[in-house]
A and B are shown apart, each in its own frame.
Chain A
Amino acid sequence: MADVVFKNISKIYTGGVKAVDDFNLEIKDKEFIVLVGPSGCGKSTTLRMVAGLEEISSGELYIDGRLVNDVPPKDRDIAMVFQNYALYPHMNVYENMAFGLKLRKTPKDEIDRRVKEAAKILEIEGLLNRKPKALSGGQRQRVALGRAIVRNPKVFLMDEPLSNLDAKLRVQMRTELAKLHDRLQTTFIYVTHDQTEAMTMGDRIVVMKDGVIQQVASPQEIYNKPSNIFVAGFIGSPEMNFIDGHITVKNGKYFINFKDINLALPEGIAKTINPDFINKDIVIGIRPEDIHDEEMFLETFPEYTFNAKVEVVELLGSETYLYLQYDGIPLTARVDPRSVARSGDMVKIGFDMNKIHIFDKETTKRVMD
């Protein structure tokens, strides 16, 4: 139970590679924070700096108000779950979990109590005498978690803990981790490259790229108001559609324009746009689920519609993806499975203009509230 504060943290490797650049963040006590980004974005390095496994090149790191830059890992009161579990292969499950406590000279009966309690929470009581090689991936994952839980640390660090599990187990463990966080009431710092994990688990998400924080916000805000093109494209699947275009004003009314298409912007949205960007090069972003082909929408908002060619249709059962093209611009739409569009068809589609995102083409930053 502790807050973690990063002040201008940087990590520069010998050879001058900047893995983390001027990282500033305040993680609140009991918060579940997720660092997410593509590989090489510095998220794991950041986590390892918190663990003390990586030296901090510059800046200050505080755990529970204490400056820990030069504190060795064992004195930071943190526990870490590694991507490949890092279970000690020569120890059985019980010994694996008890190891950290033994080193801290915890009394034997106290160790026993804590290990059994953690085993109960994680439902691995029956496995305590087994060696890691006799466990399945999911069971190993639980043991790795157990090893962290018994220590009762101030901060839990997790480095892609679910990436070695199969898809089904990953979904299951996701909810279990969230439950575990509720139960333990401890600060969690969680690293992943999987945006679904980030969206479903985090209280707040930190999106990183090339060692720099792109945005820190709640999952909803990250999704609904991405601060730049990178975040917009990284979060959400299928990816957001991006179209080069302009904002134009005619008779006091705002339009977005691309190719020969002009779509009116609702007044509510128009008001939030930075007027400096009128007639400038911008990038229009629209999520696949905000492109519609159902009759209801097209009739209600005829001014938001145009015709596009269907190239591929993917039926997923609960939803259908349409891969469309308009004058060389590829568009992906997530539509109702009842859609009758088939590949080769020309179909009428409409953008939900209330859900539109506008970015500066030059800086890639969002130019609306």
Chain B
Amino acid sequence: MRKRYILEVIDGYLFLLPFIISVAVFLIGPLIYAFFLSFQNFSFLTPQKAQWVGLKNYLDLLHDPVFIKALSNTAIYAVGVVVIELILGLILALIANSNIRGKTFFRVAYYIPTVTSTVAVSVIFLYLFKADGLVNNILSRFGIQGPVWFNSVRFALPSIMMMAIWSSVGTYMVIYLAGLQDIPVELYEAAEVDGANEYQRFWSITLPLLRPVIFFNLVVSIIGALQVFDQAYVVSRGNGGPLNATMTVVLYIYNKAFSEFDMGYASAAAFILFIIIMALTIIQRMIFKDETN
């Protein structure tokens, strides 16, 4: 019996081996190495000069004004994008789930941006929001002098946020839609017979039963928002400008690592982001305890 059990276990791990190897080599390995690097003064150009610096990278980061700016930009971006995305996604899903005409068209229309490359989307937005682009052109017809959007310290980050919302709200809509269609029709009928009007049915049936889906969307969108990179990179041509207005944490890490080749410092920044995401996820899990099991 015992021998057979051991053989079975070996069989199982053999099947898992390709996955274990790839994860170990391309994910866990680099992760551990990055953690190790974060305590070193390490440059690609001069790896032989690497030296152990303890927590210096971390301490320096906390006093680095650009990193602090990147953190605050990312936080503003995350809060704005997550809140609007989740609410807008739900509204769109409710529309797409209702019995209006042409709902299939709406479902497709809202989802298309999601399957479009973010770089392509960013380039299109650059054109739309150019100083003499389509958006300002339309605004000028109403007598409004549009800003220079991506080149304005004030509007650059909100522009990126709009773009992000536009391009990813479809994903959340689709997930909400699946959640909405999972709610049995009889529950609405029972509530209707019980005397609930449409508004009451939304608050007492739809929303509570959608909680697991809302939780899922919240986690995914927060993690996504904190890792914002490509839109900021394309719009600012990699420098996080104007005046670091579009500098995000991941963009900062990228620049440190691959422009300045300061791998130790970049690794430390990456681990700070990791800790933030981890902490937020743990807090969410505690708040939505019921939904996670």
Binding site for B on A (CB under 8 A): 51-53, 72-74, 78-80, 82-84, 86-90, 99-100, 103-104, 147, 151
CA distance A103 to B201 in the complex (A): 10
Binding site for A on B (CB under 8 A): 184, 186-187, 189-197, 200, 204-205, 208-209, 211
Q: Which residue of A lies closest to B205 (CB)?
A: A88
- CB atoms of A86 and B195 under 8 A apart: no
Q: Which 9 A-B pairs have the closest CB atoms?
A: A100-B194, A86-B186, A74-B195, A86-B190, A90-B208, A103-B195, A73-B193, A80-B193, A73-B192
Q: Within 8 Å CB of A147, what residues of B?
A: 190, 194
Pick from B189, B197, B209: contact of A86, CB under 8 Å: B189
CA distance A73 to B193 in the complex (A): 5
Q: Within 8 Å CB of A83, what residues of B?
A: 186
Q: Within 8 Å CB of B196, what residues of A?
A: 74, 99, 103
Q: Which residue of B lies closest to A89 (CB)?
A: B209
- CB atoms of B195 and A100 under 8 A apart: yes
Pick from B184, B193, B204: contact of A53, CB under 8 Å: B193
- Total inter-chain residue pairs, C-beta < 8 Å: 58
Q: Within 8 Å CB of B197, what residues of A?
A: 74
Q: Which residue of A lies closest to B188 (CB)?
A: A86
Secondary structure class of chain B's binding surface, majority of residues? helix
- CB atoms of A80 and B190 under 8 A apart: yes
Given contacts A52-B193, A80-B189, A82-B186, 16 further A-B contacts (CB under 8 A): A52-B192, A53-B189, A74-B192, A74-B195, A80-B190, A82-B190, A86-B187, A88-B204, A90-B209, A90-B211, A99-B194, A99-B196, A100-B193, A100-B194, A104-B195, A147-B194
- CB atoms of B209 and A53 under 8 A apart: no
Nearest Cβ on chain A to B112's Cβ, whole angstroms: 31
Secondary structure class of chain A's binding surface, majority of residues? loop
CA distance A87 to B191 in the complex (A): 10
Q: Within 8 Å CB of B204, what residues of A?
A: 88, 99
CB<8 Å pairs between A and B, sample of 7: A51-B193, A52-B192, A79-B193, A86-B189, A99-B191, A100-B193, A100-B195
CA distance A8 to B194 in the complex (A): 28
Q: Within 8 Å CB of A90, what residues of B?
A: 208-209, 211
Q: Within 8 Å CB of A73, what residues of B?
A: 192-193, 195
Interface centre among A72, A73, A87 (most CB of B within 10 A): A73
With A53-B192, A103-B196: A86-B184 Cβ-Cβ less than 8 Å = yes
Q: Within 8 Å CB of A151, what residues of B?
A: 194
CA distance A90 to B187 in the complex (A): 11
Q: Within 8 Å CB of A100, what residues of B?
A: 193-195
Nearest Cβ on chain A to B181's Cβ, whole angstroms: 16
Q: Which residue of A lies closest to B187 (CB)?
A: A86
Pick from B186, B193, B211: contact of A74, CB under 8 Å: B193
Q: Which residue of A lies closest to B183 (CB)?
A: A89
CA distance A67 to B61 in the complex (A): 75
Q: Which residue of B lies closest to A148 (CB)?
A: B193
Q: Which residue of B lies closest to A144 (CB)?
A: B190
Q: Within 8 Å CB of A52, what residues of B?
A: 192-193
Nearest Cβ on chain A to B142's Cβ, whole angstroms: 44
Pick from A53, A72, A89, A103: contact of B194, CB under 8 Å: A103
CA distance A108 to B218 in the complex (A): 36
Interface centre among B187, B197, B200, B211 (most CB of A within 10 A): B187
CA distance A33 to B218 in the complex (A): 50
